Amino acid sequence: MDFLGFVIICVKVLVVFSATMLTVLMMVYAERRVSAFMQGRLGPNRVGPQGLLQPIADGIKFLMKEDIIPAEVNKPIYLLAPAMLLIPALMTFAVIPFGSTITLFGREVPLQVADLNVGILYILALTSIGVYGLVLAGWASNSKYSLIGGLRSSAQLISYELAMGLSVVSVILLAGSLKLNVIVEDQQGYLLSWNVFKQPVAFLIFLVAVYAETNRLPFDLTEAEQELVGGYHTEYSSMKFAMFFTAEYANMVTAAALTVTLFFGGWDVPLLNETSMGALGAILSVLSFILKTAFFLFLFIWVRWTFPRFRYDQLMKLGWKVMLPLALINIFVTGGYLTLTSLR
Amino acid sequence: MLPLLFYFAAAIAVGTAISVVLSRNAVYSAILLVACFFSLALIYLLLEAYFLAVLEIFIYAGAIMVLFLFVIMLLNLGQEKAQEHFRYLQRGLSLFLVIVFFLGVSLILLSDSSVLHQSHETFSAGGVKVLGEALFTKYLLPFEVASLLLLVALIGTVYLAKQKI
């Protein structure tokens, strides 16, 4: 690899990383403001204009707080657990294409950090690795609430990972590739070519599974405040708690971006051919990607204040007895349809 | 660069694998085994078997070991307590098996070292398409039998765990 290519990749990594972190900050702010709006409150509005600097104030507070390590914890694992959750959460965005190609210094630069030929599997693998952070945090804390939170999270994530993976399979069947780039290109063209119209069942299963995977309401049993204090992060304070918090929101950002990529055409602007429009097309594609992702991030908050929390047995029943069979039937129907049309 | 990475990954794999056995805490063993899977995935990557590398992490590290950890935590197996009286028998037996295995492998390799030097053309297990085609054409019967075996194991587990269904 030549020097220029190396620089371009470094810049892309930097841009994606800082964009993710910035979105996390904005999401923390938006979560509080939108929640307040939905409950007829004002929310944080004192720090900066409209309270926009509140996340930064929160971050400084996290840094300044005393870092407490409880006496009876298993120290190495207790210290390792937040990083084990945060690192996979920040790594996942690497394969998501966030725009069409641009031409820089006479070469085509795809707006995507790494175009792996197993892109979607990479994301699924990393989300399944994230469980370790939760489980080990729960176990190492040596506290009942943390342990229950950790156990619940592992059971929940494994159950919904299956439904999520199987719903993605039908999308892969349509695109014929595991590359996220190809999946996006497959959805180009007119509006109805988006996968959400071709695979509505898969989209619904995926959306519900995403909420379970990111531990958001109505599936936030791992940190159900009324029962478990704070769940797996009960014993964590200061920056280590902030790491859990960041990981959770980074997971949400990736999940929203992945939903857009798989089902809403990724960076596709309907009825436009971005790749033939040069720089303007690239900017439009990035904008459309950001807008769609922002909508799904908003949906996270919206759902949070719309649905009550599931009971644990209801969660398991939904995962194993509804979502999994539904996803399997969906694959069967999709595969059958594809076979029949290819025979003709 | 590549041989260096291989030695790095291999050293971690061997080191963590030994620590899995030596560690007295079951949770540590599980975590070390996950680290071992990661270094194995790195070796797969160096062999350009991307699909296998991701599957190694996805299935072994991401699903199976999580379940193991789940069980270890549920049973709360902290320090090694159980099977105190089995210890010598266990160690003797495992040492014997390891020696037999090692001797067998080295005998094969010494008699026919061409096993180690396969050409790169024949090795293409990394591609999703190649693997899928092989599974559904050449190895269809073993593939289906394996899935049946898994189903039987699943039913057996449910039957054993739940006396009354």
Cα gap A20→A88, rounded to integer Å = 13
In the beta sheet, which residues pair with residue A103? Answer: A108
Residues B67 and B7 in one domain: yes
**Which residue among B27, B51, B63 sits closest to A128, beta carbon to beta carbon?**
B63
Cα gap A55→A30, rounded to integer Å = 10
Residues B162 and B101 in one domain: no
* Chain A with chain B: Cβ pairs closer than 8 A: 64
Q: Is the pLDDT of residue A95 over 90?
A: no
Q: Is the pLDDT of residue A110 over 70?
A: yes
Contact (CB<8Å) B63/A150: no
Contact (CB<8Å) A136/B31: yes
Confidence of residue A10 (pLDDT cuts 50, 70, 90): confident
Confidence of residue B81 (pLDDT cuts 50, 70, 90): low
| pLDDT tens, residue by residue, A67-94 | 888 888 888 888 888 888 889 888 888 8
Contact (CB<8Å) B70/A116: no
Residues B75 and B98 in one domain: no
Lowest mean pLDDT among A67-81, A279-293, B125-139: B125-139
What integer pLDDT is reported at residue B99 of this predicted model? 93
What integer pLDDT is reported at residue A287 of this predicted model? 86
What integer pLDDT is reported at residue B14 of this predicted model? 92
Residues sharing a CB contact under 8 Å with residue A2, sequence separation 6 or more, in sequence order: none
Domain locations in chain A? 70-343
| Averaged pLDDT score across all residues of chain A | 84
What integer pLDDT is reported at residue A329 of this predicted model? 92
E-assigned strand segments in A131-230: none
Contact (CB<8Å) A128/B61: yes
Confidence of residue A141 (pLDDT cuts 50, 70, 90): confident
Residues B75 and B113 in one domain: no
CB proximity B69 to A under 8 Å? yes
Report which listed range, A3-7, B121-125, B135-139, B152-156, is most confident. Answer: B152-156
**Which residue among A121, A131, A139 sits closest to B54, beta carbon to beta carbon?**
A121
Contact (CB<8Å) A151/B70: yes
A16 close to A94: Cβ distance less than 8 angstroms: yes
Percent of chain B with pLDDT over 90: 18
Contact (CB<8Å) A125/B57: yes
* Mean pLDDT in residue range B72-84: 63
What integer pLDDT is reported at residue A159 of this predicted model? 84
ipTM of this complex > 0.90?
A: no
Domain-ending residue, one of B82, B114, B142: B82
| pLDDT tens, residue by residue, A20-41 | 888 888 888 888 888 888 888 8
Residues B4 and B23 in one domain: yes
More confident residue, A157 or A230: A157
Residues B91 and B42 in one domain: no
**B74: closest chain A residue by CA:** A151
Q: Is the pLDDT of residue B131 over 90?
A: no
Provide the chain B residues 125-144 that lie in CB contact (below 8 A) with chain A: 128
Contact (CB<8Å) A125/B73: no
**A153: closest chain B residue by CA:** B70
A319 close to A152: Cβ distance less than 8 angstroms: no
Burial of B75: CB neighbours in 10 Å, binned 0-12, 13-18, 19+:
exposed
Q: Is the pLDDT of residue B122 over 70?
A: no
Contact (CB<8Å) A77/B54: no
* Mean pLDDT in residue range A324-338: 90
Contacts of A158 in chain B (CB under 8 A): 63, 66-67
Q: What are phi and psi of B48, to 5 degrees?
A: 65, 25
Residues B68 and B104 in one domain: no
Q: Which of A149, A20, A134 is closest to A85 using CA atoms?
A: A134
Contact (CB<8Å) A158/B51: no
Q: Which of A263, A220, A223, A215 is closest to A89 using CA atoms?
A: A215
Residues B159 and B138 in one domain: yes
Considering only CB atoms, which residues of chain A are within 8 Å of chain B? 74, 77, 116-118, 121-122, 124-126, 128-129, 131-132, 135-136, 138-139, 147, 150-151, 154-155, 157-158, 161, 178
What integer pLDDT is reported at residue B79 of this predicted model? 54
CB proximity B150 to A under 8 Å? no
Q: What are phi and psi of B124, to 5 degrees?
A: -140, 35
Contact (CB<8Å) B58/A128: yes
Cα gap A5→A8, rounded to integer Å = 5
Structural domain boundaries enclosing B162: 127-165
Gap from B90 CA to chain A (nearest CA, Å): 29
Confidence of residue B153 (pLDDT cuts 50, 70, 90): very high
The predicted model scores a pTM of 0.84
Gap from A104 CA to chain B (nearest CA, Å): 29
Residues B99 and B111 in one domain: yes
What integer pLDDT is reported at residue A206 of this predicted model? 92
More confident residue, A116 or A319: A319
Contacts of A116 in chain B (CB under 8 A): 50
Contact (CB<8Å) B31/A150: no
Contact (CB<8Å) B70/A155: yes
Lowest mean pLDDT among A282-291, B101-110, B124-133: B124-133
Counted domains in chain B = 3
* Mean pLDDT in residue range B35-57: 86
* Mean pLDDT in residue range A318-335: 90
Percent of chain A with pLDDT over 70: 96
Residues B106 and B94 in one domain: yes
More confident residue, B47 or A326: A326
